[in-house]
Amino acid sequence: MDVRVTGAAPPSPFLSARDVFETEYDLSLPVRVRIREDPDERTWASHPGEYHVLNISRQAATSAMARELALHEFAHMHRNEQGHPSHTQSTDEALFLAFAGRTVERRKLAHCYQIANHMKDIYADDITLTLGPADKLVSFLESSLAAALADRPGVPPRPGSERLSTATDPDIAAVNAAFALALVERHDLVSEDHRLYDLAHVAARDAPDVAFEAFKRRFKHLADDPDESEYRKALVETTRSYVVPSESGQAAD
């Protein structure tokens, strides 16, 4: 694997991630790591054609999670090169199929893109979790969920009122919690008394209109090797169940 780092961050975490990744997998195309100055820039991969790009903030690139973040993005790149349906299916197309003829709230639509990313992440982490200990990933999921819950207002809003904080929407926070539990259960990473479960249950209680258990089940049991039609159907049904839960058959979960 050809990995080159440009920007104000040491290359060692990315080269270390390459060495770990190469023990089981490989990439045909070179990787360009681009360090961004914006601390809020999320880590993400793009595939312009002749190479892959790993975009990462300098803050993340110099953090204790840098190597693990790079491994995760290398896994996305591998899924892209495989032509895996989770990484080739157009999210826009799936959402058009899910909501044809409907008006969807902008907030909910944005959340659907996050749900689609969670489904991609499941397949990426199916790879990364074969490469070594998952302690840092579990800690990352725990701290992320705890931070989201801490961002909630201290008192539940009155009916018809808006929450004081817009940083963490309780509905998507519950879906994020379902994703976290689905991932650790899919790979048997934690025991049932782990703090993640307590945090996830709080998130679920804060979003009573979200079918938390149904989302966990959907994420956890994504088929290992779906064909294009099977994956498109899963993505359409999962996003539709978030926007119109009464039609998903899962509202009671």
> Tokens in use for 102?
């409907």
- Listing DSSP states for 17-41 in one string gives HHHHHTTT---SS-EEEEEES-TTP
**Residue 8: pLDDT band with limits 50, 70, 90:** confident
**3, pLDDT greater than 70:** yes
- Listing DSSP states for 134-154 in one string gives -HHHHHHHHHHHHHHHHTS-S
- Tell me the whole-structure pTM to 2 decimals: 0.89
Q: pLDDT at position 247, please? A: 55
Amino acid at 178: A
Question: Per-residue pLDDT tens for 165-176?
Answer: 335 799 999 999
Q: pLDDT at position 218, please? A: 98
Distance between CA atoms of residues 102 and 71, nearest Å: 39
Domains (range + CATH), the chain: 3-65 (3.30.160), 86-247 (no CATH)
Distance between CA atoms of residues 215 and 211, nearest Å: 6
**162, pLDDT greater than 70:** no
Cα 50–55–59 angle (5° rounding)? Answer: 155
Average pLDDT, integer, range 98-121: 95
Q: pLDDT at position 252, please? A: 36
Q: Edge-to-edge, what's the strand order for the sheet holding 3-6? A: 3-6, 31-36, 52-57, 44-46
Q: pLDDT at position 151, please? A: 72
**248, pLDDT greater than 60:** no
Q: pLDDT at position 168, please? A: 74
Closest CA to 73 of 93, 53, 94, 90: 53
Q: Are strands 44-46 and 3-6 parallel, antiparallel or unpaired?
A: unpaired
Q: Which has the higher per-residue pLDDT, 225 or 160? A: 225
Distance between CA atoms of residues 119 and 145, nearest Å: 18
Residues of the chain above pLDDT 90, percent:
83
Q: Mapping DSSP to helix (H, G, I), strand (E, B) and coil, where does residue 139 land?
A: helix
Cα 85–87–90 angle (5° rounding)? Answer: 85
Give helix 170-186 / helix 135-150 axis angle, nearest 10°.
160
Amino acid at 94: A
> Tokens in use for 227?
């064909």
Number of H helices, E strands in the chain: 11, 4
- Dihedral sign (CA 160, 164, 167, 170): negative
Question: Per-residue pLDDT tens for 176-209?
Answer: 999 999 999 999 999 999 999 999 999 999 999 9
Which 8-state DSSP code applies to residue 7?
S
Closest CA to 219 of 191, 200, 195: 200
Q: Which of 31-45, 68-82, 95-109 has the lowest mean pLDDT?
A: 31-45
Q: pLDDT at position 250, please? A: 43
Tokens 């008394």, located at residue: 193
